[in-house]
């Protein structure tokens, strides 16, 4: 491998548990060579199959297959460095996310691209970790938004002498009439609690008549 390729490999692998495999594709011979790690990434034991372009593309996720095919075809002509993040279905039926990088090598005599060399990097774990972190953040944000609504429902129910379901409907009605998000209406109600907000204060915040007060 070239010094540039070695640097690429080093940049991809330190400090991670990502499985990195090498590959080489002969543009003229159309033959592939895979390292043992590349076989493993695709769900095979080393030497289980003979890698071919058909096999490589067959394992690509259907939604990514055409894009990856165009990338390899283009690189075989231009020889320019390329990279892609896409999904595969390995031989055991598991979906994996790969980063693929590579570059073309040219024949010394003809200057034509004679092979593509590069790396398959299994980034499935990293992608799943980021997805899990994003989901957790979403749940935390939802909980943070929901907490004042639950508090406000209790305050409104107690102040107006109604059940919590009706209290929520009062909050939602006020939200619709004032074009203010329910969570913001709820925070306004919760903000009354430390000052000993009365039924009149709660009713005023909701824009409804005070319980027991004569209607105009």
Q: Where are the domains of the chain?
A: 3-122, 138-206
CATH number listed for the domain at residues 3-122: 3.30.450.20
- Residue 66 sits at the vertex; the CA angle it makes with 65 and 72, to the nearest 5 degrees, is 90
pLDDT tens across the length of the chain (216 residues): 444 344 344 444 444 567 899 999 999 999 999 999 999 999 999 999 999 999 999 999 999 999 999 999 999 999 999 988 889 999 988 888 888 899 999 998 899 999 999 999 898 876 666 655 665 555 555 555 677 777 777 788 777 778 878 888 888 888 888 888 877 878 887 777 544 455 676 666 676 555 544 444
φ, ψ of residue 209 in degrees (nearest 5): -65, 145
Place of tokens 């695709």: 42
**CA 143 distance to own-chain centroid:** 21
Strands annotated E in the chain:
19-26, 32-34, 82-89, 95-106, 113-122
| pLDDT the model gives residue 29 | 93
pLDDT at 184: 81
pLDDT score of 173: 86
CB 182 within 8 A of CB 153: no
This prediction has a pTM of: 0.54
- pLDDT on residue 129: 66
DSSP state of 173: H
Angstrom distance (rounded) from CA 84 to CA 63: 14
Q: What is the pLDDT of residue 201?
A: 67
206 contacts 171 by C-beta, under 8 angstroms: yes
pLDDT at 10: 43
Give bridge partners of residue 102 from the DSSP assignment.
Answer: 82, 118
């Amino acid at each position: 491998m070239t010094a540039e390729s070695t640097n690429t490999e080093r940049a991809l692998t330190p400090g991670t548990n990502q499985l990195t495999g090498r590959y080489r594709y002969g543009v003229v011979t159309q033959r592939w060579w895979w390292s043992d790690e590349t076989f493993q990434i695709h769900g095979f034991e080393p030497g289980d199959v003979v890698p071919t372009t058909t096999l490589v593309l067959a394992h690509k996720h259907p939604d990514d297959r055409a894009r990856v095919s165009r990338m390899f075809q283009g690189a075989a002509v231009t020889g320019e460095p390329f990279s892609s993040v896409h999904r595969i279905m390995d031989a055991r039926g598991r979906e994996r996310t790969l980063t693929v990088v590579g570059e073309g090598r040219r024949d010394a005599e003809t200057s034509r691209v004679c092979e593509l060399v590069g790396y398959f990097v299994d980034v499935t774990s990293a992608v799943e970790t980021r997805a899990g972190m994003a989901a957790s953040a979403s749940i935390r944000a939802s909980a943070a938004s929901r907490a004042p609504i639950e508090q406000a429902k209790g305050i409104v129910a107690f102040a107006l002498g109604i059940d919590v379901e009706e209290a929520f409907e009062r909050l939602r009605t006020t939200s619709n009439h004032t074009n203010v998000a329910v969570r913001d209406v709820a925070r306004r109600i919760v903000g009354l609690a430390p000052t000993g907000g009365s039924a009149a204060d709660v009713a005023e915040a909701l824009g409804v008549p005070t319980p027991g007060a004569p209607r105009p």
